[in-house]
Chain A
Amino acid sequence: MKSDSKFLSAPYTVWMTVFIVLPMLLVGYFAFTDKSGSFTLENILSVGQYSNVFLRSIWLGAVATVVSLGLGYPLAYIIAKMNARRQNVMVMLVMLPMWMNFLLRTYAWMTLLEDNGLINSFLGALGLPRIHMINTAGAVVLGMVYNYIPYMVLPLYSVLTKIDKSVIEAAQDLGANSREVFLKVVVPMSMPGVISGVTMVFVPAVSTFIISKMLGGGGNLLIGDLIDMQFLGSAYNPNLGSAVSLVLMVIILICMGIMNQFDDGEAAGGGMLL
């Protein structure tokens, strides 16, 4: 039985070794070597000069995550309260944009947001002043929210539908009005969904490069763009690129660690704070 399951997992083990573990080791190797292949800490140390890029990435990623949560939570809550047939339709609508190519979706936003794009043409036709939207931090956040919000809504929805109706009734029965039911029962019980939604939006948002490239212009360089430039761009330097990737990985790991800590605390004795 045991050998059977080992045998079944072999293809994935091989896959993981070749395409995940090996590349990671390579990233580590490049990060700590220079062009001639000898050991150096220079790459890691020079990451410090890009701290503004890191901060901007984390800041924009965080803003996009908060906006996604703010929009996604009410949506997931409303969907979870619908009857089963409508729920299926709504979940499909949430996922529908994901069926379209990621690049195409982002291009679509470009044509909408451009100075001579659809929105500005429309405003102009109405005689209203045009708004500069493309190549701003706001446009990057918009792109992130638009692309990643399904990853926020789906885990929230799945947690919210699983909340037992009798638990809600128990809270009402014990004297909680609808606001108190929401704050003291629904929100704490949906925390696991919030955590996974936040993780699933924040991580790709922080490391994205195509969104900032297309909607942010040159002025909103993110870590993703920085790494991209080291490998494919003008500033070809895979060693520095690897070092930046490594630091980014560590930062994301720390962020996730903090989030999970928060989740555990909530489950064990978080109620004491009420």
Chain B
Amino acid sequence: MKNTIISLKDITVSYDGEQVLGGFNLKIHDGEFVTLLGPSGCGKTTALRTIAGFIKPDAGDVFFYDKNITSLPPHKREVNTIFQKYALFPHLNVYNNIAFGMRLKGCSEKKIKETVHRMLAMVDMTGYAHRGIGQLSGGQQQRVAIARALANEPKVLLLDEPLGALDLKLRKDMQAELKKIQQQTGITFVFVTHDQEEALSMSDTVVVMDKGMIQQIGTPTDIYNEPENAFVADFIGESNILDGVMLEDYSVKFAGHIFHCLDGGFGSNTPVDVVIRPEDIKVVEPESSLITGEVTAVTFKGVHYEIIVDVAGFKWMIQSTECRETGDRIGLSLTPNDIHVMAKSEYSGTFGDYSTFSDEMGEDKNASSEALAEEEGSADEI
């Protein structure tokens, strides 16, 4: 196991009497790419700002290796931040922005020059040294911000939704680039985002947060395949979440039938949440399946069709490359591997049914779904 570089112990932070983080504990290992993932207001930025030193927690301690740095001001911490809005110095050009930290440390101009050019090369901005900040695009400003932070040779780089303001294409490029930089430099990255796809594709470890608490910590595959509760299952990707009863180990009953599964250890006759990912469900003929239902909406998504199926009042989402018509009766086939069982939590029953979702889809004009067009006539006139 690698060394723990940052640890947060029982951190509590409140703004105006409202608790944002409550008894928050987190260990970050040296050289890791950790992502704090959650909806807005979940406390992920607060956790990051606590590490940077901009927020002094009401209670709890922050450790850098074994040193307690809770009361150390930001300028004395060996961490650097990349801000959501880049926060470059508008009165300085690119060169002087990157040199800012080194000048404060009193490095020689020769070393500064060498480092600035190395950093500019790393972020692919060679030749931009003497540009003004106002002359740069958003993506270029972001690269300068990265170069400025890395020039300071931090032990930990904190990134506060740094790609939020960029368009999709640029964001994908920057994701790859950030990951590459992280691997090259070996610096610990703590990345904050609300974009689950970004979190899954970049991180070594994902920390899923909600309401100021950690819901799950794990590798991207763990988080996706083995979510611990309905919140995580719903937040990371699409999920059908059903009420079920664990009859005994490896046997679970839901949607009126008993299925063989790979989970155990819940005891017998325990109520549970059952997660089935839309892409795991196979569409078959209704005669050859236990679960059958009527297609209520179909949306073409490029890679696949998104099919909403009404199974005895519960609406499932299926992602399939096969197209089905609205009104078709289809069967849903599952293998034990497709079924993931979770213990009941405070989030049970709040996520995972696509009933409301299918109404929203009425807005998406779909030529093939005549039944839907009749139902949602007014919306379709647009």
Contact = CB atoms under 8 A, between A and B. Distances in A.
Contacts of A167: 87-90
Main secondary structure of the interface of B (DSSP, over half): mixed
Contacts of B85: 164, 166
Contact of A169 (B81, B91, B96): B81
Contacts of A180: 104
Contacts of A108: none
Given A164-B85, A166-B87, A169-B87, A174 B92 contact: no
Contacts of B132: 267-268
Among the interface residues B75, B76, B90, which one has the most CB atoms of the partner chain A within 10 A?
B75
* Chain B: interface size category: 20 to 34
A177 B89 contact: no
Contact of A176 (B83, B104, B148): B104
A183 B111 CA distance: 23
Interface string A231-274: 00000000000000000000000000000000000111111101
Given A167-B87, A169-B74, A271-B91, A174 B152 contact: yes
A167 B88 CA distance: 6
B331 to A, nearest CB: 55
**Central interface residue in A164, A173, A266, A269, by most chain B CB within 10 Å:** A173
How many A residues touch the partner, as a band?
A: 20 to 34
Contact of B73 (A172, A174, A270, A271): A172
A269 B83 CA distance: 24
Interface of B: 52-54, 73-76, 79-81, 83-85, 87-93, 96, 100-101, 103-105, 130, 132, 148-149, 152
Which 4 A-B residue pairs are closest in the complex by CB-CB distance? A174-B101, A271-B96, A271-B92, A166-B87
Given A170-B88, A188-B92, A271-B91, 18 more contacts: A166-B83, A166-B87, A167-B90, A172-B54, A172-B73, A173-B52, A174-B148, A174-B149, A174-B152, A175-B75, A175-B104, A175-B105, A175-B152, A176-B104, A185-B91, A189-B89, A267-B91, A271-B89
Interface of A: 164, 166-167, 169-177, 180, 184-185, 188-189, 191, 266-272, 274
